[in-house]
């Protein structure tokens, strides 16, 4: 009987089934990067599960084909048994069956029934029964070969399937652990997102209050600026009026200072006026206009 080794790792076995090793999750550098890594890991897990399902379906199809072949062999054995049970029927079996047909005619029914029962029991149980000593003179060599091949093939297929199922279970456990860890991280990220949203709303309310206060303060400053501008215009008008009045007063003073006295009518008054003019010529001086203060017009 052929022996088979167990699976060497949870991601592959000695029968040729190679599973894709899932990439372990790394520590995220930020909420967005972690969310992308979680989504990528989930997609990778889905692809691996799909691949494993396809491989399991292929194994099931192989088992069905082997079962069909075993059923066909059982039907062949049944036909041989039917032909040997009829002495007049033509036989197309092997040379060993033809030469031992007379000897097997008495106990062939029971022996072939045992072979079929053992073959079916090997399909239903995990471990087939030990190979019995069928080297007696009443068992055909073809029957022994068929029985041995059927049981060995069944046992080999069951070992392969058991190894692959164990590997699939290990991978599924690993993926389930990763999914649980990813769900916990997603829950933590959702909590952080809710906290950030609440803080954002609080900041928006604070900004709205500050904007309202700034708008009110700007309106107050604009009103104060308009008031100061109005006072400045009033002051400019008053200054212009004062400058105009100063110019008028200065012109009047200049006219009074430079106006000549009228000439006397008689000689005596003329002499008096000449004497007065000569006296004033020695005593009075012309007005120096450089000392007159001129108020500029703003």
Q: What is the per-residue pLDDT across 138-175, written as a single tens digit (0 to 9) for each? A: 566 777 777 788 888 888 888 988 888 888 888 888 88
pLDDT at 118 over 60: no
Q: Convert the pLDDT of each residue in 10-32 to its tens digit.
A: 444 444 444 444 444 444 455 66
Burial, 142: exposed, middle or buried (Cβ in 10 Å; 0-12, 13-18, 19+)? middle
What lies within 8 Å, CB to CB, of 179 at 6+ separation is 42, 45
**How far apart are alpha carbons 208 and 243 in whole angstroms?**
52
Q: Kindly report, residue by residue over 59-111, the tens digit of the pLDDT.
A: 778 777 877 777 777 777 777 667 656 554 444 444 444 444 444 444 444 55
Structure tokens at 215: 């708008």
Split at pLDDT 50, 70, 90, the class of 231 is very high
To the nearest whole percent, how much of the chain has pLDDT over 90? 20
- Tell me what the mean pLDDT of segment 219-245 comes to: 93
Task: Check: CB of residue 111 under 8 Å from CB of residue 75.
Answer: no
Tokens 């599924």, residue located: 172
pTM beyond 0.85, yes or no? no
pLDDT level of residue 283 (50, 70, 90 thresholds): very low
- In whole angstroms, what is the distance from residue 88 CA to residue 76 CA? 19
pLDDT at 230: 93
As given in the structure block, the two tokens for residue 42 are 């989930």
Query: In the predicted model, what is the mean pLDDT of residues 257-277?
Result: 56
């Amino acid at each position: 009987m052929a022996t088979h080794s167990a699976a060497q790792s949870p991601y592959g076995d000695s029968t040729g089934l190679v599973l894709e090793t899932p990439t372990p999750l790394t520590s995220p550098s930020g909420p967005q990067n972690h969310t992308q890594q979680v989504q990528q890991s989930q997609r990778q897990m889905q692809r691996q599960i799909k691949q494993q399902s396809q491989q399991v379906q292929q194994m099931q199809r192989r088992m069905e084909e082997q079962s069909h072949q075993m059923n066909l062999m059982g039907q062949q054995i049944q036909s041989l048994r039917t032909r040997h049970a009829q002495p007049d029927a033509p036989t197309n079996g092997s040379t060993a069956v033809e030469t031992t047909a007379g000897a097997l005619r008495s106990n062939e029914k029971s022996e072939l029934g045992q072979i079929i029962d053992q073959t079916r029991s090997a399909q239903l149980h995990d471990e087939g029964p030990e190979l019995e000593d069928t080297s007696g003179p009443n068992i055909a060599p073809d029957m022994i070969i068929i029985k041995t091949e059927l049981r060995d093939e069944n046992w080999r297929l069951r070992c392969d399937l058991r190894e692959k199922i164990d590997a699939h279970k290990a991978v599924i456990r690993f993926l389930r652990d990763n999914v649980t860890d990813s769900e916990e991280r997603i829950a933590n990220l959702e909590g952080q997102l809710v906290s950030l949203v609440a803080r954002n709303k609080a900041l928006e309310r604070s900004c709205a209050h500050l904007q309202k206060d700034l708008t009110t303060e700007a309106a107050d400053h604009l009103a104060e600026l308009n008031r100061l501008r109005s006072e400045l215009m009033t002051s400019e008008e008053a200054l212009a009026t004062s400058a105009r009045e100063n110019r008028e007063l200065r012109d009047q003073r200049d006219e009074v200072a430079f106006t000549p006295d009228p000439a006397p009518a008689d000689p005596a008054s003329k002499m008096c006026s000449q004497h007065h003019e000569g006296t004033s010529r020695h005593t009075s001086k012309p007005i120096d206009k450089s000392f007159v203060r001129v108020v500029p017009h703003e």
